[in-house]
């Protein structure tokens, strides 16, 4: 069924013709011979769209439209009339009509209008549901989502949080790996202890050892006072090592020893200090590939990778894009002091179509930009960044009709494998899982393709 349609017209012949035509095209169409009867039907049953004539004897179409919009603002109204003019069209739109058709019209034009109106109502309902979900989950730093990948993530996070195992959190840049780490800490027996986070990529190599392990006075030229390292700051709590894959080859064995011994020696000290720290690490790199290529120590990898949690990319999370977008609208509007409350269906369709290579972080930035620029209470399609508005999905294969346009099966496989690796952000371990291959088989194929 394409939609439930209520037709209101005091011309019985017109009602019957439209009702029959729509039923033949898989709509559940019902008609009423007066505006009063139409209002009564709206109270008795749910309809996706109301189609009404403009000129009716007892109650005009403009008044009827206004009353429908007041009583059922979620139901689009399409106004039709044989007396079409710009003035009556403006009156209908001002009364809240979704669209306007002039008689006589082609049935297919009406069908197209109704399909759009049904989709419009469905999208508005989804946006309303998502806004309600956001309202129920507004705590800062809360992981938000209702998609199957996120439900699986919530389940494994809750299960692993109760343990004291080290966890390696993997996923593309911008997916929210630190939020997962914070959720693991909050759900653990260490929740009352400190949560200390450090981005290993942001600290110069010359300072990373002192930052992690601390130093004593005089340990080096600028060490005028002793400093407690992050491991000691996180004692009886959790230390989150973000972008651990960026650690230098010289630093990796030092970290390994601390993890093995649960003891740390500050730079310049002769004394080791005992620790009680749970270590969570995160990376956007494929550490198994880094190990195979000699850039990351295998023993350190296995020490960190006691449990691995994969954080899904935003493009794999379906309508979570709209859940997150709505939460970012609320946050940006409050921060900027603007009365922006939601997202129009047209903007929502663009947000869902775009693949978000920068994941949640890119979406947040795009929404803040849109809220900054908009002059309306809802974000319009034109408020979104140009790359979101103009995005067109790429396809592994172009459609082909002529025999000479087709390619060999091996070429189809090559294009598909490379496209999956691209979609996985270069993570070959994740790509192998998606393709249903073991890593060695994938590497052999990439060697055959001459891929780097």
Q: What is the mean pLDDT of residues 275-287?
A: 94
Model confidence band, residue 139 (pLDDT cutoffs 50, 70, 90): very low
Distance CA 270, CA 279 (A): 24
Residue that the structure tokens 């309600």 belong to? 132
Look up residue 348 and give its two tokens: 């929502």
Interacting residues of 316 by C-beta distance below 8 A, sequence separation 6+: 147, 149
Residue 305 near residue 288 (C-beta atoms within 8 A): no
> Is 90 exceeded by the pLDDT of residue 430?
no
Look up residue 404 and give its two tokens: 């000479």
Neighbours of 70 (CB within 10 A): 10
343 strand-pairing partners: 379
**What pLDDT sits at residue 354?**
93
> Is 60 exceeded by the pLDDT of residue 30?
yes
Model confidence band, residue 398 (pLDDT cutoffs 50, 70, 90): low
Please tell me which of 114-123, 141-150, 189-198 the model is most confident about, judged by mean pLDDT.
189-198
**What pLDDT sits at residue 397?**
55
Residue 253 near residue 297 (C-beta atoms within 8 A): yes
Short-list 44, 131, 59, CA closest to 95: 59
3-state helix, strand, coil in the chain (%, to 5): 50, 15, 35
Q: What is the mean pLDDT of residues 257-277?
A: 93
> Is 80 exceeded by the pLDDT of residue 180?
yes
Q: What is the mean pLDDT of residues 144-157?
A: 90
**What pLDDT sits at residue 142?**
67
Q: What is the pLDDT of residues 290-316, one digit of tens each?
A: 998 899 999 999 999 999 999 999 988
**What pLDDT sits at residue 140?**
42
Half-sphere exposure of residue 241: CA atoms within 13 angstroms, side-chain side: 26
Supply the pTM of this predicted model.
0.65
DSSP conformation letters of 341-406:
-EE-HHHHHHHHHS--TTHHHHHHHHHHHHHHH--SSEE-GGGS-HHHHT-----SS----SGGG-
Please report, rounded to a whole number, the percentage of residues in the chain having pLDDT higher than 70.
92
**What pLDDT sits at residue 137?**
47
Lowest mean pLDDT among 196-205, 259-268, 399-408: 399-408
Enter the DSSP assignment of 60: -
Taking the C-alpha atoms of 344, 350, 356 and 359 in order, what is their torsion angle to the nearest 10 degrees?
Answer: 10
């Amino acid at each position: 069924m394409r939609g439930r349609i209520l037709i209101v017209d005091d011309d019985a012949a017109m009602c019957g013709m439209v009702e029959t035509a729509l039923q033949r095209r898989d709509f559940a169409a019902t008609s009423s011979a007066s505006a009063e009867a139409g209002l009564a039907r709206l109270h008795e049953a749910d309809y996706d769209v109301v189609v009404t004539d403009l000129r009716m004897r007892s109650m005009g179409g403009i008044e009827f439209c206004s009353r429908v919009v007041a009583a059922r603002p979620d139901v689009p109204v399409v106004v039709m009339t044989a007396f079409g003019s710009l003035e009556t069209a403006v009156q209908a739109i001002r009364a809240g009509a979704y669209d306007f058709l002039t008689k006589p019209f082609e049935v297919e034009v009406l069908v197209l209008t109704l399909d759009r109106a049904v989709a419009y109502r469905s999208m508005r309902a989804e946006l309303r549901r998502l806004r309600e979900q956001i309202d129920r989950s507004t705590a800062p730093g809360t992981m938000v989502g209702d998609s199957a990948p996120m439900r699986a993530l919530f389940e494994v996070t809750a299960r692993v949080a109760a343990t004291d195992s080290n966890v390696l959190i993997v996923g593309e840049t911008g997916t929210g790996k630190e939020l997962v780490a914070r959720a693991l800490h909050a759900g653990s027996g260490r929740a009352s202890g400190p949560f200390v986070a450090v981005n290993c990529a942001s600290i110069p190599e010359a300072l990373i050892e002192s930052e992690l392990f601390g130093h004593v006075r005089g340990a080096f030229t600028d060490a005028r006072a002793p400093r407690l390292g992050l491991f000691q700051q996180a004692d009886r709590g959790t230390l989150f090592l973000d972008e651990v894959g960026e650690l230098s080859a010289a630093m990796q064995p030092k970290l390994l020893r601390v993890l093995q011994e649960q003891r740390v020696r500050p730079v310049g000290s002769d004394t080791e200090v005992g620790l009680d720290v749970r270590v969570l690490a995160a990376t956007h790199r494929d550490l198994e590939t880094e190990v195979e290529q000699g850039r990351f120590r295998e023993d350190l990898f296995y020490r960190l990778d006691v449990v691995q949690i994969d954080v899904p990319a935003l493009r794999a999370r379906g309508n979570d894009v709209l859940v997150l977008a709505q939460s970012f609208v609320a946050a940006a509007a409050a921060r900027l002091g603007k009365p922006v409350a939601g997202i129009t269906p047209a903007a929502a369709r663009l947000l869902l179509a775009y693949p978000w290579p920068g994941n949640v972080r890119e979406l947040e930035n795009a929404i803040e930009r849109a809220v900054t620029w908009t002059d309306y209470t809802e974000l319009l399609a034109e408020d979104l960044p140009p790359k979101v508005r103009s995005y067109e999905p790429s396809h592994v294969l172009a459609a082909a009709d002529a025999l000479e346009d087709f390619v060999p099966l091996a070429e189809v496989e090559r294009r598909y494998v490379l496209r999956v690796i691209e979609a996985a952000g270069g993570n070959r371990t994740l790509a192998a899982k998606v393709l249903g291959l073991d890593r060695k088989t994938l590497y052999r194929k990439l060697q055959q393709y001459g891929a780097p």
